[in-house]
Amino acid sequence: MIRVLLVGHRGKYAAVVQNFGNNPKWEFVFAEDKKHGSKIYEEAGEVFDIVVLGLGMAINHSQEFYQEIKRSAADKKMSMPIVLWISSLKHSELSALGFYAANLYNKFIPEDTECLQQQIYDAISITLEEVSAVAAKHYNRVSIERIKEHNYVNCDLFLKLSESKFVKIINADEMFTPEIIDNYRNKGVEYLHVRLEDYMRFSDFIYSSLKSKFKISAGNDHEVVHKDLEMTSFVLETINNLKLDEETVKTLHEIGHSSIQMVKRNPSLKQLLEKAQQQKGYIYSHSLLISYISGTIAMKMQWASFQTLQKLGLAAILHDVVFDNERLAKIDNLGKIDYQNFTISEVNEIKKHPLLAKELIDKMKDLPPDVSSIVSAHHERFDGQGFPRALTGQHISQITALFIVAEDFVNTIFEYKKLDRESIHQISTRLKEKYDMGNFKRPCEGMLQTLNEML
């Protein structure tokens, strides 16, 4: 049984909890205030899996209660329960209290958000699911863009109508016209689905098609960019659907090798950046740009070994592998999230994606060391306000720091329409203020040197 302690306004919590109904899998316990909550928590002897606090509480009381359970866990050498904190505190204040570092599943709910009770319900629901580790998946999704250039595929294709209902729209090996696919695309359908057991055959079919399509000269940089974007798209989709086989790893290495060769040829980096910015698909072009930029920084740092460039290239391709939502992929700072426009579920997905990507990478054979550690920490920051583990600068390796600087730069250039002298100066100033210290100093210098050469 999962036990949940709710500290604060009982009436408001009760209105949320009643939506869960009676379920023997969990129990909700109420405490009206800090004093009552402390008594229940101490008498229970660390049996609560989740603590929800802050609703109807004075901010100092909720902080004191949080510190109590944190001290209790430390004194007893036990892990903290998951804390869902309803508060007006800022992201920097929560980070200073060690809130995000204490438990990866901790969740912040701003008390001034609209539909607060719905947000609380969603946070509890998500956390109950995380604790009980419920996961059932019978279909893998595939981008409709993956289908449009074919007139048949080797397995049945399904349209998702709801979380539990899928309808078959195309039979295996059945000829279909582009108009059929365009009809769904025009209705806003981004993904079709294949059965879990069919996905390996399907991805082999798509992989073979891409290989034959891109037998092009390596000397044309714009063609290489286009090829790499297509192959990156395929690899991310394949890994996200858990096809972790030799062909996937081989494709990754091909992309990494292509990026390495392009960096070493040192073409006009500015021109390539602007070219990739224009390509369709933020996640794919974003990943490819990080590969180019991180490799360029490494060369400025005299780190141009094949192994280093390969690690950075592979980490770039894989760092957002679990995302298919570009809106979520663009968030790189929890403190800047507008909770009026993002659900608790979406915030949780953003926060956890580096670790989920690491789990996928760790299952893959023959990838070089450091790739998964770079990916798991690519949203950490020198000041400890990153995620998911709120690491500080001294706990971030230099190769990961290099990757972080490269990704931050790439995130920034997507905010600019063009890279002119003024924008390059603005970006340089911001990066220097943010990263010119500790393990980040040399990567920052390499990035600044690269930017200076664009002027």
Q: Are residues 160 and 229 located together in one domain of the fold?
A: no
Domain presence at residue 266: yes
Q: Are residues 142 and 121 located together in one domain of the fold?
A: no
Q: Scanning the structure block, which residue is given the tokens 């438990």? A: 103
User: Which H or E run includes 141?
Assistant: strand 139-143
- What pLDDT was estimated at residue 83? 96
Residue type, 276: A
170 three-class SS:
strand
Q: Scanning the structure block, which residue is given the tokens 């050498």? A: 77
Domain that holds residue 112: 2-132
Pick the last residue of a domain from 150, 167, 198.
198
* Summary mean pLDDT of the chain: 84
Q: Are residues 127 and 147 located together in one domain of the fold?
A: no
Domain presence at residue 203: no
Q: Are residues 391 and 267 located together in one domain of the fold?
A: yes
Q: Scanning the structure block, which residue is given the tokens 């890994």? A: 239
**Rounded Cα–Cα distance for residues 205 and 202 (Å):** 5
Q: Are residues 14 and 74 located together in one domain of the fold?
A: yes
153 token code pair: 């595929």
DSSP string, 317-363: HHTTTT---HHHHT---GGG--TTTS-HHHHHHHHHHHHHHHHHHHT
**Rounded Cα–Cα distance for residues 27 and 5 (Å):** 9
**Rounded Cα–Cα distance for residues 93 and 13 (Å):** 25
Domain presence at residue 53: yes
236 token code pair: 């991310």
Q: Are residues 184 and 322 located together in one domain of the fold?
A: no
Q: What is the CATH number of the domain that holds 108?
A: 3.40.50.2300
- What pLDDT was estimated at residue 217? 46
Domain presence at residue 204: no
Q: Scanning the structure block, which residue is given the tokens 């690690």? A: 311
CA atoms within 13 A on the CB side of 198: 19
CA R_g for the chain: 24
Q: Are residues 37 and 74 located together in one domain of the fold?
A: yes
Our count of domains for the chain comes to 3
**Rounded Cα–Cα distance for residues 53 and 324 (Å):** 33
- What pLDDT was estimated at residue 140? 84
Instruction: Give Cα 174 to chain centroid, integer Å.
Output: 36
Q: What is the pLDDT along the chain (455 residues), one digit of tens a residue?
A: 788 999 999 999 998 999 898 888 889 999 999 999 999 988 876 578 899 999 999 999 999 999 999 998 888 777 788 999 999 999 999 999 999 988 889 999 999 888 899 999 999 999 988 887 643 457 888 889 888 888 899 999 999 875 556 788 999 988 999 899 999 999 999 999 998 888 878 888 887 777 666 554 445 555 666 666 666 666 666 655 544 556 656 665 676 666 666 555 554 555 655 555 555 567 877 888 888 889 889 988 999 788 888 899 889 988 998 887 889 999 999 998 999 899 999 999 999 999 998 988 887 777 787 899 999 999 999 999 999 999 999 999 999 999 999 999 999 988 876 778 898 999 999 999 999 999 999 999 999 998 888 77
Q: Are residues 293 and 382 located together in one domain of the fold?
A: yes
Q: Are residues 183 and 266 located together in one domain of the fold?
A: no
- What pLDDT was estimated at residue 165? 61
